[in-house]
Amino acid sequence: MQNFINLERIEPRKRGSNQRKKDYNEIYEIFKTTEASSQSERCVQCGDPYCNSGCPLHNYIPFWLRATAKKDYELAFRLSNETNPFPEITGRICPQDRLCEGACTLQRDGYEAITIGSIETYISEYGFNKGLKPEFSKLTTNKRVAIVGSGPAGISCATFLLRAGIGVDMFEKANRAGGLLTYGIPNFKLDKEVVFRRFEWLKEAGMNLYLNSEVGKDIEFKKLLKEYDAIFIAIGAEQSKKINMANEDSDGVFLAIDFLKNIQRKYFNEEYDKRYHVANKRVVVVGGGDTAMDCIRTALREGASSVKCLYRRDLANMPGSKKEYKNALEEGADFVYLSSPKEILIDKDSKVVGLKMQKTKLSKKDESGRQRVEIVEGSDFIIETDIIIFALGFDVKKVDFLEQNGIKTNKWNEILADENRQSSQKLVFTGGDCFRGSDLAVNAASDGKIAAESIIDQLL
Ligand SMILES: Cc1cc2nc3c(=O)[nH]c(=O)nc-3n(C[C@H](O)[C@H](O)[C@H](O)COP(=O)(O)OP(=O)(O)OC[C@H]3O[C@@H](n4cnc5c(N)ncnc54)[C@H](O)[C@@H]3O)c2cc1C
Ligand code: SF4
């Protein structure tokens, strides 16, 4: 261990940008065994590991790094799967630079952080290839919990309940499970088979998964209250933020999630809306977060003739992960900073022909610590385009069955809950994006785990 002076951090190999743009396969290779163990040897094994606090799941990172360095991959697999409901997924999609790796002692001391995420993915994939599986106990109790929503919060809650021997029925309104892991995050970041594999294990462990089952429409929430010992609500934040600008419903104006979902449906050979074809079209994406990068990289794979990202702040203030920005740049996106949309320009058939923009400048910091954006008067300019995709974030949708059943929400429709993720209704718990607002898969997983622990405390 502590080999960080002799050994540099390496990243997993990436497919070349020209090649990877031709398909939706994941772009990163998984570490080779020698790479995973030698990279793990760089770990300092600090007594009070900051990486552990940087990880929302408080994974036993130094423990599984030490096991990997000692080539005890089975132990590493078990340790990693103990605290994390899907390490092979978080290893692929967590913004590690902001979480575990950002907190790594080496990084703080001016060295390069351990490649924690890539090693985490390696450990799981190595284990699966050797026939290891996440461990579950048999259903040892007569308790049953209903989980509403099959995204990361739902998967996590189900995992920890099943491990405690509690039965789970999961209700999902879509025709495939996984929430945004399936219909939001593109396949080039997270292969969908990786997501579906987890559901097979949950079903083997005794979970019943009911697809095409919308609670509040196909199933009454009251029925769940009557029939289950507890309920976990994890219905996500599904409503794309709109820009509220004239012509926003015109032909050629898309919201990010509609675009991504339809392309994913096309990829699944499901019925999808052909309006979202962007081949040979000029595309602009408004927004600077990870969803914007996903739209850009999807549009490039769909054969758009050009893709521009328009962002009202500068590169240093872009909210998304730098890794995803770099991938988008390598794949051919252009970036226009310090510019804000003013008017959607359409032709006589109500088809988009351009976007009138205005220059911006950054001024004093606001309460959140970010610099305010000011419009530069008289700085209008036009970007000609066929397609505009707005990637401005998500809100929680107002859901009638919550209020009707005494479950309190705030003014943003987020479900209110205490630190145990218990809502204002006894034995109704919540977590993920519908509780905290649009966020990260690992935070949804952490909520699901906390809620499962609270449910276990109350039921057993
Ligand atoms: C394009 C995009 C890219 C992202 N990239 C990343 C990333 O790289 N890394 C990262 O950590 N996070 C990323 N995120 C965020 C992450 O996906 C979410 O924070 C996470 O999925 C939230 O999990 P959840 O379980 O709360 O909700 P969701 O994943 O939204 O799942 C909610 C589920 O509930 C279902 N549902 C809703 N209402 C009902 C009902 N009434 N009855 C039954 N089912 C219902 C929905 O159909 C859905 O399947 C991304 C998000 C998007 C949109
Ligand atoms: S779950 Fe995410 S934050 Fe935690 S160790 Fe894994 S990659 Fe890092």
Assess whether pLDDT exceeds 80 at residue 2: no
Assess whether pLDDT exceeds 90 at residue 170: yes
Distance 358 CA to ligand 2 centre (A): 39
Residue 244: per-residue pLDDT = 85
Assess whether pLDDT exceeds 90 at residue 380: yes
Distance 406 CA to ligand 2 centre (A): 35
Assess whether pLDDT exceeds 70 at residue 1: no
Q: Closest ligand to 156 CA?
A: 1
Backbone angles phi, psi at 364, to 5 degrees: -55, 155
Q: Compute the average pLDDT of residues 412-430.
A: 96
In this structure, how many other beta carbons lie within 10 angstroms of the beta carbon of residue 196? Answer: 14
CA 261/CA 174 separation, integer angstroms: 11
Nearest CA to ligand 2 atom 1: 90
CATH 3.50.50.60 range(s) for the chain read 144-238+396-459, 240-393
In this structure, how many other beta carbons lie within 10 angstroms of the beta carbon of residue 329? Answer: 15
Distance 60 CA to ligand 2 centre (A): 10
For the CA of 54, the nearest atom of ligand 2: 3
Q: Closest ligand to 117 CA?
A: 2
The class (CATH top level) of 144-238+396-459 is: alpha beta
Residue 5: per-residue pLDDT = 74
Q: 17-129: which CATH architecture?
A: Orthogonal Bundle (1.10)
Percent of the chain with pLDDT over 90: 88
Structure tokens belonging to residue 100: 């575990």
Instruction: Confirm or reject: Cβ of 116 under 6 Å from ligand 2.
Output: yes
The CATH superfamily holding the domain 240-393 is: FAD/NAD(P)-binding domain (3.50.50.60)
CA 341/CA 357 separation, integer angstroms: 4
Residue 364: per-residue pLDDT = 83
Q: Closest ligand to 255 CA?
A: 1
- pLDDT-based confidence at residue 146 (cuts at 50, 70, 90): very high
Instruction: Confirm or reject: Cβ of 62 under 6 Å from ligand 1.
Output: no
Report pLDDT digits (tens) over 344-367.
999 999 999 999 999 999 988 887
Phi-psi label, residue 332: left if phi above 0, alpha if psi -120 to 50, beta otherwise: left
Report pLDDT digits (tens) over 188-244.
999 999 999 999 999 999 999 999 999 999 999 999 999 999 999 999 998 888 888
CA 261/CA 40 separation, integer angstroms: 37
- pLDDT-based confidence at residue 169 (cuts at 50, 70, 90): very high
Nearest CA to ligand 2 atom 8: 100
For the CA of 394, the nearest atom of ligand 1: 53
CATH 1.10.1060.10 range(s) for the chain read 17-129
